[in-house]
Amino acid sequence: MRGTGKEHFETVTYGVHDGASMRASNTYITELDGVELPIPLSRHMIVSRHLDAPGVLLILLSALFSKGVNITDLQLAKRGTTGYALLGIDSAPSDLPALLKTLGPTYYEARLLSLAPEVDTE
């Protein structure tokens, strides 16, 4: 998956990750813009790029709480003063994409990824 410019995620890499703490037989997002963030794929995920400072992640977590969204997986990383977060969530209310646009100037980007459910071909 590729973004469209500097204000968007450049690359999201996924595949099988061979780290010792990985869950067996799951597909993972392994990195975001070259920053290692191994997390199992979920039906709904949030990706963010934000200022790495105290309290910034709390803005996102509080917004999700206000919509009753449960976080099932969370992975954090940073490069310089930029923080990265990948969250697996159990549901995605229809107004969640609009909410992610209101997190404020400390969030450079926050997006919802919703993957199509698996189709049984048998």
CATH number, position 85: 3.30.70.260
Nearest-5° Cα angle at 112, 3 to 25: 90
- For residue 33, the 8-state DSSP code is T
Whether 69 maps to a domain, the answer reads yes
Into how many domains does the chain fold?
Answer: 1
**What integer pLDDT is reported at residue 36 of this predicted model?**
87
Whether 93 maps to a domain, the answer reads yes
Whether 122 maps to a domain, the answer reads no
Whether 6 maps to a domain, the answer reads no
Whether 25 maps to a domain, the answer reads yes
Whether 7 maps to a domain, the answer reads no
Whether 80 maps to a domain, the answer reads yes
| Domain, as residue range, for 24 | 12-114
Residue 103's pLDDT band, with cuts at 50, 70 and 90, is very high
Does the pTM surpass 0.85? The reply is no
**What integer pLDDT is reported at residue 33 of this predicted model?**
82
